[in-house]
Amino acid sequence: MINIDNEIHLYITKPEEVETSDLRKYKDLLSSDEIERHDRFKFDNLKNNFLITRALVRTTLANYLGCDPKSLKFETNSYGKPSLRGISFNLSHTDGLIVLAITGSKKIGVDTENLNRNITDIDIAKRYFAEPEYHEIKACSEIDRKYKFLEFWTLKESYIKAVGKGLSIPLDKFYFKIKGDEIKIHTKEDSLSWQFKMSKINDSHLIALAFEGAEMPDIRTYQTIPMVKIL
Ligand SMILES: CC(C)(COP(=O)(O)OP(=O)(O)OC[C@H]1O[C@@H](n2cnc3c(N)ncnc32)[C@H](O)[C@@H]1OP(=O)(O)O)[C@@H](O)C(=O)NCCC(=O)NCCS
């Protein structure tokens, strides 16, 4: 078993880079539940993204745990967060990108969003975000508004995913302040025990990471195609 208590490893896959011949290998890794989920998708691109995601999660985590990818048995909490004994991880997918974040034992959450998605930012922010976030978005120029909105969105998602309670945590009960690389959460819970990192990894994708700990550990990022290559 590989120990990464003081690190976060981020694995990034672009589905467009996966060859059709690889997809066949991926299907062999699935559990019977996953095969049922796969078969329920109506469109090929969704089926393929599901296969790539499962292959990324299974092969990568099995490598850390020193076991066969197919043998992994995931548990899920009552809010749907999957987990495994011995390692902490979280997953996010959006148009064109799949991201898997792994660390030793601390809670971790990851979210990625496609910056080209069509959203009515200001209305959603007014309705669901905390007031300071809404005012900050509103104060932005038309051109910066969507980006600011998506920054808050990915951060908020990364946090609720790290906690593992999904949208049962009201999104207006906590808010973020971003000053360059410094990101602070404001919440009635213990704000100091959470660290955040946000990166725009290409023209289209934003990634936010939430980590429960007094300091953000080193983050290593790998671009990967499951069972083919890791860069
Ligand atoms: C899971 C959730 C928190 C985020 O989902 P999402 O942003 O749509 O999707 P992502 O791709 O980022 O994450 C999905 C993955 O997170 C994991 N996940 C599922 N439930 C989770 C939970 N409660 N906590 C953490 N991770 C969870 C799963 O691995 C899932 O992928 P899988 O089904 O392929 O295994 C979900 O509660 C949700 O539906 N959010 C709605 C999004 C929204 O409206 N946000 C408002 C703006 S902040």
Q: Which atom of ligand 1 is nearest to the CA of 156?
A: 48
Q: Is the CB of 212 within 6 Å of ligand 1?
A: no
Choose one of 36, 58, 92, 127 to mutate for the ligand 1 pocket test, by most ligand atoms within 8 angstroms of C-beta: 92
Tell me what the pLDDT averaged over the chain comes to.
94
Distance CA 145, CA 148 (A): 5
How far is ligand 1, taken at its centre, from the CA of residue 178, in Å? Answer: 23
Q: Is the CB of 46 within 6 Å of ligand 1?
A: no
Confidence of residue 164 (pLDDT cuts 50, 70, 90): very high
DSSP code of 171?
T
Condensed to tens digits (0 to 9), the pLDDT of residues 60-73 reads 999 999 999 999 99
Q: Is the CB of 180 within 6 Å of ligand 1?
A: no
Q: In the chain, which residue ranges form alpha helices assigned H by DSSP?
A: 20-27, 32-40, 44-65, 121-128, 131-139, 142-163
Inter-residue contact 142 to 48 (CB < 8 Å)? no
Condensed to tens digits (0 to 9), the pLDDT of residues 58-111 reads 999 999 999 999 999 999 999 999 999 999 999 999 999 999 999 999 999 999
Encoded tokens for 139: 């104060």
Range 145-159 average pLDDT: 96
How far is ligand 1, taken at its centre, from the CA of residue 165, in Å? Answer: 10
Query: Residue 2 domain-assigned?
Result: no
Encoded tokens for 100: 């898997």
Q: Is residue 163 over pLDDT 90?
A: yes
User: What does residue 222 show for φ and ψ, rounded to 5 degrees?
Assistant: -125, 130
For ligand 1, atom 10, name the residue with the nearest CA.
92
CA-angle at 80, arms to 172 and 103, nearest 5°: 85
Condensed to tens digits (0 to 9), the pLDDT of residues 22-59 reads 998 999 999 999 999 999 999 999 999 999 999 999 99
Q: Is the CB of 211 within 6 Å of ligand 1?
A: no
Choose one of 127, 161, 165, 175 to mutate for the ligand 1 pocket test, by most ligand atoms within 8 angstroms of C-beta: 161
Inter-residue contact 52 to 226 (CB < 8 Å)? yes
Domain encompassing residue 125: 7-230
Query: Residue 176 domain-assigned?
Result: yes
Query: Residue 130 domain-assigned?
Result: yes
Distance CA 159, CA 156 (A): 5
Pairing of strands 218-225, 7-13: parallel
Could you give the number of structural domains in the chain? Answer: 1
For ligand 1, atom 6, name the residue with the nearest CA.
92
- Tell me the CATH number at 111: 3.90.470.20
Q: Provide the 10 A C-beta neighbour count for residue 82.
A: 14
Query: Residue 1 domain-assigned?
Result: no
How far is ligand 1, taken at its centre, from the CA of residue 82, in Å? Answer: 10
Q: Is the CB of 81 within 6 Å of ligand 1?
A: yes
Three-state secondary structure call for residue 134: helix
